[in-house]
Amino acid sequence: MSATELRGYSFRWNHRRNRPGTELSEEEARARDAAGEEYTAVLPPRPGTRSPVLVTPVWQTGVVLVSFLDDPGRKIVEYVFTKKDDSRMFLSGVHLWEYPDDQPGRRLSEASRREDIRYHEDGYVHRTIIDKNEGYRETVEYTDVPVATNWEPVPAFGDYASIGRFERGRSPLNGAPPPPVSPG
């Protein structure tokens, strides 16, 4: 994604109001990037959606978060990339949230369902599903899951096209079998 496609930069995103927290100039964001400090690049919405894609590098901790919002502006998917060396990152986590209604400004804790998927470089995957409506929590572990597509190049400042993709060419579990159906 070129800098001309960016909508801007901010320090954090206000999910309650679906807008930037503190807006940053490109120069301020670039300085934060160079210092390893947190900032958020606000990208255009995915096709067919209205809310922006948010890319939040925090190089001091070696993490980049990519957040996808639904039309009411709530976080529904988040990718967690972990920097492994100066040139490569690994998609180490995917978080998914479902909400009970279309009310804007809902907090993550108000989600009716949450799914956390943690990837390891050796193909081990740990998946937890919490469903408040059904009243259950389940954890499933997989081994030998292909993770070749979890690798990404470390992006240069402003170049977020690759990590900002929602469609990653596979399901979140890379072909691992789905968890058992919960008891009804």
pLDDT band at 182 (very low <50, low <70, confident <90, very high): very low
Q: Is pLDDT of 4 > 60?
A: no
Residue 65 lies in a domain: yes
**Does residue 129 fall inside a structural domain?**
no
Q: What is the pLDDT of residue 1?
A: 45
Measured distance CA(116)–CA(132) in Å, rounded? 14
Give CA separation, 94 vs 16, 68, 114, 129, 156, in Å.
Answer: 22, 11, 11, 12, 22
Confidence of residue 171 (pLDDT cuts 50, 70, 90): low
Q: With respect to residue 80, please indicate whether it lies within any of the assigned structural domains.
A: yes
Q: What is the model's pLDDT at position 179? A: 44
Q: What is the domain extent for residue 13?
A: 3-112+148-153
Q: What is the pLDDT of residues 62-120, one digit of tens each?
A: 999 999 999 999 999 999 999 999 999 999 999 999 999 998 888 899 999 999 999 99
Report residue 18's pLDDT band, with 50, 70 and 90 as the boundaries: confident
State how far the Cα of 154 lies from the Cα of 152, in Å rounded to an integer: 6
Tally of domains in the chain: 1
Average pLDDT rounded to a whole number, residues 21-47: 95
In a domain, 107, yes or no: yes
Asked if the structure places residue 159 within a domain, the reply is no
pLDDT, residue 105, reads 83
Query: What pTM does this model have?
Result: 0.87
* pLDDT tens digits along 116-162: 999 999 999 999 999 999 999 999 999 999 999 999 999 999 999 89
Beta strands in 104-174 (DSSP E): 113-119, 125-131, 136-142, 151-153
Residue 183 predicted with pLDDT over 70 = no
Q: How many CB atoms lie within 10 A of CB 41?
A: 29
Assigned domain for 33 exists: yes
Find the mean pLDDT for residues 28-37.
Answer: 97
Please check whether residue 93 lies inside any domain of the structure: yes
The answer to whether residue 41 is domain-embedded is: yes
